[in-house]
Amino acid sequence: MINRRQLIRATAAGLGGLGDGEAFSAPSPDAFRLAYFETYSPMSFRDGDRLRGILVEILHAVLVDRLGLVCREEGFPWARAQQRVERGESDAICTVATPQRLAYSVAVDEPILTVPNRIFVRADNPMLPALAKVRNLDELRALNPSILSYSANGWAKARLQDFDVTWGGDFNSAMKMLVARRGDIMVENALTMVYTLQRTPGGDAVRMLPTAMDQASFQLLISKRSPHLNRRDEISRAIRQFKLAPPYADIFQQYGVPLPK
Strand partners, 219: 95
Query: d(Cα 42, Cα 55) in Å, to the nearest integer?
Result: 8
Whole-model pTM over 0.85: no
Query: d(Cα 177, Cα 172) in Å, to the nearest integer?
Result: 9
Range 158-161 contact pairs with CB under 8 angstroms and sequence separation of 24 or more: 158/98, 158/99, 158/100, 159/214, 160/187
| pLDDT tens by residue, the chain, 261 residues | 334 444 344 334 433 433 333 333 344 557 999 999 999 999 999 998 889 999 999 999 999 999 999 999 999 999 999 999 999 999 999 999 999 999 999 999 999 999 999 999 999 999 999 999 999 999 999 999 999 999 889 889 889 989 999 998 889 999 999 999 999 999 999 999 999 999 999 999 999 999 999 998 999 999 999 999 999 999 999 999 999 999 999 999 999 888 887
List domains and CATH numbers for the chain: 4-113+217-254 (3.40.190.10), 115-215 (3.40.190.10)
Cβ neighbours of residue 185 under 8 Å, at least 6 residues apart? 119, 120, 121, 125, 127, 131, 145, 146, 147, 148, 178
Closest listed residue to residue 93, CA positions, set 144, 13, 26, 37:
37
Dihedral sign of CA atoms 98, 197, 12, 150 in order: positive
CA dihedral of 175, 181, 187, 192, whole degrees rounded to 10: 30
Distance linking the first and last C-alpha atoms of the chain: 38
187-242 pLDDT, tens digit per residue, is: 999 999 999 999 999 999 999 999 999 998 999 999 999 999 999 999 999 999 99
